[in-house]
Structure 1
């Protein structure tokens, strides 16, 4: 199969919509990362996503809609608090886990009776969904377990020959996947996967916002079903071994000087460049927003330079920084060195 690289224009989107309506899968840009889209109601099309990615079948897919008003077609119940969240943050980088109805097959929901609903902000993603006339299930368009793609070229490296087409919409705006939330009750929100919309943001619509322990600790029981992608399996990981290093710049510098060798690299903050006088240092942003935008590209870069072992300065664990930390700790297999 020759994978086409399509322009992010009317012709490219119409051709992509035609492919999806005919049961094929297409990679397309969103404001978070590139998605691998299929008709969410077409079981055979959805299975092509799992096959192309090598994704475990119990890892649920997020369903993308053109407008939140369409959510009633694919859910059995929407609590009032969900409408408040949607009114403030949709379209945008947030996914709402809701009870599904029979229009969403179990293969799409990973065998669950819930479905994640998202209204992307990216204009081309919304136009594509509108042209399809169908809900579009779309995980990140990468090989399962590998860093998510934030450019069409990242997708091409992973999916060339596996899918019919990729829409090239340039670099993703935010760089990490959407925040995924569910509703404990009418007065409580639980964050299952952190993203660009933070706990602090959600407190503006709900007084009780809980961060699920799996965000920082992982799932202890491998047989446990999860409501969100990114919770259960090792994710976002390059071929290099990743370890997070927690400590101030002085301690990190001392640690790095004692852990040098061929193929060893260090992911550091931009401000650390003048402090750490070592080779193989790669900055990954000056603040949490920059780090979110760059982290997957930097993790992919490590494979391009044949890194074997990588020590990463731990980002902040609040705001958008929590999303960066979540991706890194999963990439490391929860290996944290505390100095």
Structure 2
């Protein structure tokens, strides 16, 4: 099923349908400030397991948490170093994923059974409206159509429609991904260069 999602002013009816579905463990494909992404509710472990199955990922691989703001992110991390906090305050919401140590209360399955967690604060009207009414983050993973330059909602419906509740149609999106920054050390480590600018950032290159 495809649901309309205005890219600037998401329909209230669509927002409510998604909130209702998330509360009962449904999975959706939604637009973000980068690519389309799968989302589900953090408090539904079966939905999280389904995300891994849909993406054919090992549960050793991490998923991201989509948070409302830095304060919400702080509840699911052991600590946010000062240099990370300053960068997040200046550049979020925006197209970045921050790798941080997870708090001991974090749902281990949501992290992919790792001691770290990926944090996203998404700059998209749909995300902003959803997070106004949610007390916990959403669990997310990108839809990666590697060989395509643009991904359309119709294509996503054809591929994944039988596995998700709905695809939210905000039009075709370029396959441009977040900049991934590991903030677990004394300095950022650049894991992936994406569309989030890092021109003014001191960082270490990932040597893996």
How far has the Cα of 1:10 moved from its partner?
A: 1.2
Q: What residue number does 1:281 align with?
A: none
Normalised by the length of structure 1, the TM-score is 0.56
1:127-162 CA distance string (max 9 Å, x none): 12333433111111357x776974322321320211
How far has the Cα of 1:86 moved from its partner?
A: 0.6
Query: Do the aligned partners of residues 30 and 14 (structure 1) sit closer, same or farther apart at CA in structure 2, a change above 3 Å counting?
Result: same
Contact 2:99/2:184 (<8 A) preserved: no
Contact 1:66/1:130 (<8 A) preserved: yes
How far has the Cα of 1:164 moved from its partner?
A: 1.1
Aligned: 1:193 with 2:195 = no
Q: What residue number does 2:3 align with?
A: 6
Normalised by the length of structure 2, the TM-score is 0.88
How far has the Cα of 1:199 moved from its partner?
A: 3.5
Contact 1:40/1:104 (<8 A) preserved: no
- For 1:126 and 1:179, the matched residues in 2 are separated by 20
Query: Do the aligned partners of residues 79 and 65 (structure 1) sit closer, same or farther apart at CA in structure 2, a change above 3 Å counting?
Result: same
- The two structures, once aligned, show a CA RMSD in angstroms of 2.1
Contact 1:64/1:136 (<8 A) preserved: yes
Contact 1:141/1:149 (<8 A) preserved: no
1:35-79 CA distance string (max 9 Å, x none): 100112432121111122222222210110122221121111111
Query: Do the aligned partners of residues 102 and 22 (structure 1) sit closer, same or farther apart at CA in structure 2, a change above 3 Å counting?
Result: farther
Contact 2:150/2:172 (<8 A) preserved: no
User: How many residue pairs end up in the alignment?
Assistant: 203
What is the 5 A alignment of 1:35-114? 35-114=37-116
Q: What residue number does 2:182 align with?
A: 182
SS in structure 2 of the partner of residue 19 of structure 1: helix
Higher helix share: 1
Contact 2:41/2:47 (<8 A) preserved: yes
Aligned: 1:212 with 2:206 = yes
Q: What residue number does 1:168 align with?
A: 169
1:299-335 CA distance string (max 9 Å, x none): xxxxxxxxxxxxxxxxxxxxxxxxxxxxxxxxxxxxx
- For 1:148 and 1:13, the matched residues in 2 are separated by 28
Q: What residue number does 2:8 align with?
A: none
Q: What residue number does 1:263 align with?
A: none
Higher relative contact order (CA 8 A, sep 6+): 2
Q: What residue number does 1:300 align with?
A: none
1:76-102 CA distance string (max 9 Å, x none): 111101111111110000011111124
Larger radius of gyration: 1
- For 1:131 and 1:6, the matched residues in 2 are separated by 19
Higher strand share: 2
Structure 1 gaps of 5+ residues are 215-339
Contact 2:64/2:141 (<8 A) preserved: yes
SS in structure 2 of the partner of residue 57 of structure 1: coil
Query: Do the aligned partners of residues 73 and 166 (structure 1) sit closer, same or farther apart at CA in structure 2, a change above 3 Å counting?
Result: same
Q: What residue number does 2:25 align with?
A: 23
